[in-house]
Amino acid sequence: MILDFEQHPDAVLRPEMTAHVRLEIDRRQDVLTVPRDALRRRDGRRYVSVRRDGAFTEQEVRTGWRNDRVIEILDGLAEGETVRINPK
């Protein structure tokens, strides 16, 4: 990605100046996500530890989009289910 900015004629930029920039590349709405720490990988498959019938059990999931905090769950988990973060 290459970004180009036009300088405002009245702006003064100095080498010691810094800026914090956040670019929104994509936006997802109405998707099911879990924290990245909830996901485990084994033998090329992805799992979460989900509470069902009072106990935690491994559930294979199909994942989609991800960022540094959450992962989109496309299949294998339903909204409202409880997942364990950092399962051992």
Domain boundaries, the chain: 33-84
**pLDDT value at position 64?**
94
Provide the CATH number for the domain formed by 33-84 in this structure: 2.40.420.20
Q: What is the dihedral of CA 66, 71, 76, 78, to 10 degrees?
A: -130
Measured distance CA(62)–CA(3) in Å, rounded: 34
Angle at 50 between CA 45 and CA 54, to 5 degrees: 145
Tokens representing 51? 């509470």
Measured distance CA(41)–CA(64) in Å, rounded: 14
**pLDDT value at position 45?**
95
**pLDDT value at position 79?**
94
Q: Which residues of the chain have pLDDT under 50?
A: none
Angle at 65 between CA 28 and CA 38, to 5 degrees: 110
**pLDDT value at position 19?**
83
